[in-house]
Amino acid sequence: MQATTTRPPVTATADGEGVVSHAGSRLLADVADRTTLTDQLSVVLDGLRKPRARHDPGRVLVDMAVAVADGATTISDVAVLADQPALFGAVASDSTCWRLLDRLDSARLGAVAMARAGAREVVWAQRAELTGRPFPPAHAAGRALSGLVIDLDASVVVCHSEKEHAAPTFKKSFGYHPMLAFCDNTGEFLAAVLRRGNAGSNTAADHITVLDAALTQLPDQHRHGTPILVRADTAGCTREFLAHLRGLRDEAVSCEFSVGWAVTVKERAAIAAIPAWLWADAVDADGGHRDGAGLAEITRVLPARALLGYPQGIRVIVRRERPHPGAQLDAFEEADGWRYTAFATDTTVGQLARLDARHRAHARVEDRIRCAKDTGLDHFPSRSFAINQAWLTVVMLAVDLIAWTQHLLLSDNLVKAEPKTLRYRLLHVAARLTRGQRRLWLRIQRTWPWARDVAAAFARLAALSVPAG
């Protein structure tokens, strides 16, 4: 019988030397060092270090974040680093990691947040030195948006075992319902609050807490000197949250909002009063004409009581669109064949089409959450709620390390690659460690398609400027 395989025969032995896997993940560990994140965490967690302890708590937290960014879903997966001391140095055991997470109470988690903010300031300064801009612009409808954009959203994380404060969710599942905040410009995971599974979606207090924590993560000169747009779905359209957001202007934080607005009986009556000629054309994600979609502002048509308690200057804009096949419509929508959605904003200028496209770009937060769930957010490792809160902080560190690596060290398609792609192309690459010229060399297989990208990233890393002291 003629063989049909094209694979060359191999013989496996266990006598190799100097070969390491996950070599690209060393970039993440070094980014933590070069951006001062490791040092700042070591300072704020120094009180947790016992006399003659082998491992520094700040370094342990960074190693956990690197492992999670590398794909770890449990604390024991830190072994992917610990099993390769030649590449990653001395890494704490999973029991040491457990003990650290157990000791991270609310006060220490607040200190970790301060360290994250300090490192973020360094990262933005490093990027400004490299590119001339501290952060890239966010985009909508093919145009760059001015300033910073913060997206808020909540997401259900299913738990498959009994955990403290896990509860039935509105999706008929069981788990947690954390509130999350991302920077749309950079993809950074700014802040989060772990909540019970039955926590309400439109809880103003949780929105306020997460927004304030997210703003604290921004460097001072940008928090107070840059326009900031806060986006949320209809859960963020509460009087208390929008009043708090408007009140930030008294603290020299230039905030505007764009939040979903529920379409109820009052809105339907206002829509019915809008003449046909008043509907403006909508645009698609690239800024081109969107067939079968229109926009109209109904602020002046709504009854005064509908806007009572909302910030002065709020505008309510309705979008109508032909429903896709199979869409479920209510009786009002069935009558005229349009599907209606609405949003509210306090931006006073701009075409309705641009404001609508800017708000619809909030959908990108779903991709941020999906990537975060691929980076540890979809699995909380402990029965203890406190340890799971600490794990959420590790996830935020991991997402930020990936974002910082992309913005500071990578180019072309790797800048926007999702975690799964980044791990395959960069983080999980194998290499050979050799010594020579008083240096440790990481030699990547020359035929690997992204070998030059990995080498270039390490070269850019070595050239990063680090603040004195």
Q: Comparing C-alpha atoms, which of 240, 233, 154 is closest to residue 198?
A: 154
User: If pLDDT is split at 50, 70 and 90, which confidence band does 2 have?
Assistant: low
Q: What are phi and psi of 380, to 5 degrees?
A: -100, 125
Residue 151: per-residue pLDDT? 96
Average pLDDT over residues 369-384: 94
Cβ atoms 63, 74 nearer than 8 A:
no
Residue 358: alpha-carbon gap to chain centroid: 18
Residue 319 structure tokens: 């979008």
CA geometry: angle 369, 370, 374, nearest 5 deg:
110
**Segment of 197-206, 279-288, 392-401, 406-415 carrying the highest mean pLDDT:** 392-401
**Residue 333 predicted with pLDDT over 70:** no
**Residue 1 predicted with pLDDT over 60:** no
CA geometry: angle 130, 132, 137, nearest 5 deg:
110
User: If pLDDT is split at 50, 70 and 90, which confidence band does 397 have?
Assistant: very high
Cβ atoms 465, 127 nearer than 8 A:
no
157-165: long-range contacts (C-beta < 8 A, 24 or more apart)? 157/373, 157/377, 157/378, 157/380, 158/378, 159/197, 159/380, 161/383, 162/383, 163/380, 163/382, 163/383, 163/385, 163/388, 164/383, 164/384, 164/385, 164/388, 165/196, 165/197, 165/385
Residue 47: per-residue pLDDT? 86
User: If pLDDT is split at 50, 70 and 90, which confidence band does 331 have?
Assistant: low
Average pLDDT over residues 313-342: 77
Q: What are phi and psi of 356, to 5 degrees?
A: -65, -45
Q: 80-99: per-residue pLDDT in tens?
A: 999 999 889 899 999 999 99
Average pLDDT over residues 61-66: 96
**Residue 57 predicted with pLDDT over 70:** yes
**Residue 349 predicted with pLDDT over 80:** yes
Q: What are phi and psi of 280, to 5 degrees?
A: -95, 155
What sign for the dihedral angle of Cα 282, 287, 289, 293?
negative
Average pLDDT over residues 40-56: 88
Residue 137: per-residue pLDDT? 93
User: Taking the model in full, what pTM does it have?
Assistant: 0.93
Residue 335: per-residue pLDDT? 62
**Residue 156 predicted with pLDDT over 90:** yes
**Strands across the sheet containing 157-158:** 157-158, 174-176, 167-168
Residue 326: per-residue pLDDT? 60
Residue 328: per-residue pLDDT? 66
Share of the chain above pLDDT 90, in %: 63
User: If pLDDT is split at 50, 70 and 90, which confidence band does 65 have?
Assistant: very high
User: If pLDDT is split at 50, 70 and 90, which confidence band does 208 have?
Assistant: very high
Question: Across the chain, what does the average pLDDT equal?
Answer: 90
Average pLDDT over residues 386-414: 95
**Residue 201 predicted with pLDDT over 80:** no
User: If pLDDT is split at 50, 70 and 90, which confidence band does 50 have?
Assistant: confident
**Residue 327 predicted with pLDDT over 70:** no
